[in-house]
């Protein structure tokens, strides 16, 4: 659990230990020496989520330790959060405690911020939200200069926007990303930028066209598009697909098409087992693209057997993983056909066991 007093002074030692543990996991594979991308030791999280605990007239941010899930741990400071979140936390709690409408049956708080400081706060309740709550929330949003979302059962009230716009500069070029509330985004913006630059450096050597699976809001799609003739990016989530399409248009990227398909459906389309109307947005037939390369950033479960078989037919595989164990399992299934030519380790989540990895595979 990340807590309010992380061992910041020990960051370098903890990262070294995590790298050693990750490399041991891959010891059976012929991977090159990794390039390691550390995080800032503090102020790195652009998202934060807390329970709100009430005792008599007091309220405070809380987390729970896995070994004692019923005992709240008060959070008085959160140095791993970005500066805007750290600055807002005490101001927000003071205003909540001063407002019965904001405080009553509030049980969870979420922050989403950007490098420029644009912030969205979500308040989650165990009660219906009425006009009195909305008046208080509007005053809160104006006082803190943020957007506020109230959530209760089957209701979402938005004051301001239900998204923030992040700008990440990759290889000297700024990319704007619309990031919706409660949709997945990378939590560590600076390490995410390092991942984007590493992936772009890998992509610059490949050529042809690119198929991307699990594209999310277009996090990798936007900078990768510079390095290919065309990109077909796929994603199943409606919210993420909508964000990705908006981000393409907002960044004036014209060689890329977002298609709402699952990895299984992509496999069926490539094998000509099924036809999908959603593919009709492409300016030409799917089989006329020069899809030499595939980019994957799958969920923690990694690639299932069918998807692994599909990607094994490409000349190049660029693989970003949030789970070294499932990445290892997938690489074991590819090692007889591919050389693993680049390897990156990205510390998205300091003070945890999690390590993001990147591997470039090229067919022998």
Domains and CATH numbers, the chain: 8-41+185-363 (3.40.50.150), 47-164 (2.40.50.1070)
Phi, psi of 302, deg, nearest 5 = 75, -165
Tokens linked to 330:
């997938």
For residue 317, the cross-strand partners are: 294, 361
Q: Mean pLDDT, the chain, as a whole number?
A: 95
CA gap 303, 9 in Å, rounded:
37
Q: Where on the phi/psi map is residue 287: left (φ > 0), alpha (ψ -120 to 50), or beta?
A: alpha
Tokens of 103: 């405080």
Q: Which of 82, 215, 322, 357 is catalytic?
A: 322
SS in 3 state form for 74-92?
EECCCCCECHHHHHHHHHH
Instruction: Identify the DSSP state of 188.
Output: B
pLDDT at 171 over 80: yes
Integer Cα distance of 151 and 106 in angstroms: 10
The string of pLDDT tens digits covering residues 114-126 is 999 999 999 999 9
Q: Given a cut of 50, is residue 2 above it in pLDDT?
A: no
**pLDDT tops 90 at residue 273:** no
Contact call for residues 158 and 147 (beta carbons, < 8 A): yes
Q: Count Cβ atoms below 10 Å from residue 64 Cβ, excluding itself.
A: 14
pLDDT tens column, 181-235: 999 999 999 999 999 999 999 999 999 999 999 999 999 999 999 999 999 999 9
- Do the beta carbons of residue 178 and residue 163 sit within 8 Å? yes
Contact indicator for 41, 350 with CB cutoff of 8 Å? yes
- Whole-prediction pTM: 0.94
- Which of the 8 DSSP states describes residue 44? -
Establish whether 322 is a catalytic residue.
Answer: yes
- The full length of the chain comes to 364
144 φ, ψ (degrees, to nearest 5): -95, -5
Quickly state the pLDDT bin for 88 (edges 50, 70, 90).
very high
Active-site pick, 82, 265, 356, 357: 356
């Amino acid at each position: 659990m990340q807590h309010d007093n992380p061992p910041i002074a020990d960051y370098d030692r903890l990262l070294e230990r995590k790298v050693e543990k990750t490399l041991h996991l891959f010891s059976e594979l012929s991977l090159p020496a990794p390039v390691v991308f550390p995080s800032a030791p503090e102020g790195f999280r652009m998202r934060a989520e807390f329970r709100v605990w009430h005792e008599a007239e007091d309220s405070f941010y809380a987390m729970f330790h896995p070994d004692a899930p019923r005992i709240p741990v008060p959070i008085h400071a959160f140095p791993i959060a970005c500066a805007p979140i750290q600055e807002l936390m005490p101001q927000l709690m003071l205003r909540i405690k001063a407002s019965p409408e904001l405080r009553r049956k509030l049980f969870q708080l979420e922050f989403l911020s950007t490098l420029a400081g644009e912030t969205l706060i979500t308040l989650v309740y165990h009660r219906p939200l009425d006009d009195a709550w909305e008046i208080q929330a509007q005053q809160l949003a104006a006082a803190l200069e943020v957007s506020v979302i109230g959530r209760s059962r089957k209701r979402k009230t938005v004051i301001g926007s239900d998204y923030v716009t992040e700008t990440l500069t990759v290889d000297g070029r700024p990319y704007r990303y619309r990031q919706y509330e409660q949709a997945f985004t990378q939590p560590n913006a600076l390490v995410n930028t390092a991942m984007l630059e590493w992936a772009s450096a890998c992509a610059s050597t490949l050529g042809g066209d690119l198929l991307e699976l699990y594209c999310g809001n277009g996090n990798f799609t936007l900078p990768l598009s510079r390095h290919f003739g065309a990109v077909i990016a796929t994603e199943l989530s409606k919210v993420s697909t909508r964000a990705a399409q908006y981000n393409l248009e907002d960044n004036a990227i014209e060689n890329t098409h977002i298609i709402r398909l699952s990895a299984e459906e992509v496999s069926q389309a490539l094998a000509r087992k099924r036809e999908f109307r959603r593919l009709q947005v492409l300016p030409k037939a799917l089989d006329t693209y020069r899809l030499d390369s595939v980019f994957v950033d799958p969920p923690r479960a990694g690639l299932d057997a069918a998807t692994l078989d599909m990607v094994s037919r490409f000349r190049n595989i660029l693989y970003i993983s949030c789970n070294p164990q499932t990445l290892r399992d997938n690489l074991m299934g590819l090692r007889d056909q591919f050389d693993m030519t680049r390897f990156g380790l990205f510390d998205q989540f300091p003070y945890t066991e999690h390590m993001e990895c990147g591997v470039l595979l090229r067919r022998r």
